[in-house]
Amino acid sequence: MSRPGRQAIVIDTDPGQDDAIAILLALASPELEVLAISTVAGNVPLDLTSRNARMVCELAGRPDLPVHAGADRPLLRPLVTAEHVHGKTGLDGCELPVPTMPLQAEHSVDLIIRSVMERPVGSVTLCPLGPLTNVALALQKEPALAQRIGRIVLMGGGFFEGGNITPAAEFNCYVDPHAAAVVFGSGVPITMVPLDCTHQALTSPARIAAIQALGGRIGPAVAGWLAFAERFDEQKYGQQGGPLHDPCVIAWLIKPELFRGRRCNVEIETQSPLTLGMSVIDWWGVTERPRNALVLGEVDAQGLFDLITERLGRLARSLETA
Rounded Cα–Cα distance for residues 210 and 85 (Å): 24
β-bridge partners, 264: 293
Question: Could you give the angle at the alpha carbon of 170 between the alpha carbons of 52 and 231, nearest 5°?
Answer: 60
- Amino acid residing at 163: G
| Buried/exposed 157-191: b ≥16 CB within 10 Å, e otherwise | bbbebebbbbebbbbbbbbbbbbbbbbbebebebb
In contact, 74 and 131? CB cutoff 8 Å: yes
In contact, 28 and 315? CB cutoff 8 Å: yes
β-bridge partners, 281: 266
Rounded Cα–Cα distance for residues 166 and 7 (Å): 35
Closest of 320, 317, 313, 312 to residue 20, by C-alpha? 312
Residue 171 Cα distances to 131, 132, 135, 223, 278, angstroms: 8, 11, 16, 23, 10
- List the catalytic residue out of 68, 86, 199, 245: 245
Measure CA 216 to chain center: 25
Instruction: Respond yes or no on whether the N-terminal peptide bond of residue 16 is cis (omega within 30° of 0).
Output: yes
107: annotated active-site residue: no
Q: What's the start-to-end Cα distance of the chain, in Å?
A: 26
Q: Which residues are catalytic?
A: 245
